[in-house]
């Protein structure tokens, strides 16, 4: 599980999936909520990239290479 926290690709793929699902939603409020979720996933991807590049992150969090699911 820790490797998912620092895997930018994981969060970026979740954002893409959320955007794809949003396009299938007719309700404008629900669609906006799904797009907001996608934006938050992108922020998590950015944060994961920051964590991976930091020197003080424990090694067990940096151990997994980014891979597609």
Task: Note the pLDDT of residue 2.
Answer: 60
pLDDT in tens, 7-50: 899 999 999 999 999 999 999 999 999 999 999 999 999 988 88
Domain ranges of the chain: 2-54
| Cα–Cα distance for residue pair 68/31, rounded to 1 Å | 26
- Examine the pLDDT at 56 and tell me if it is beyond 70: no
- Examine the pLDDT at 4 and tell me if it is beyond 60: yes
Task: Note the pLDDT of residue 17.
Answer: 97
- Examine the pLDDT at 61 and tell me if it is beyond 90: no
User: Exposed, middle or buried, 52 (CB in 10 Å: 0-12/13-18/19+)?
Assistant: middle
31 to each of 14, 15, 22, how far by Cα in Å?
16, 14, 5
| Cα–Cα distance for residue pair 56/25, rounded to 1 Å | 42
């Amino acid at each position: 599980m820790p490797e998912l926290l620092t895997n930018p690709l994981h969060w970026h793929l979740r954002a893409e999936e959320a955007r794809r699902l949003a396009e299938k939603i007719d309700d404008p409020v629900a669609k906006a909520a799904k797009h907001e979720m996608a934006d938050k996933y992108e922020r998590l991807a950015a944060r994961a990239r920051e964590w991976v590049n930091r020197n003080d992150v424990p090694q067990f969090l940096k151990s997994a290479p980014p891979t597609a699911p």
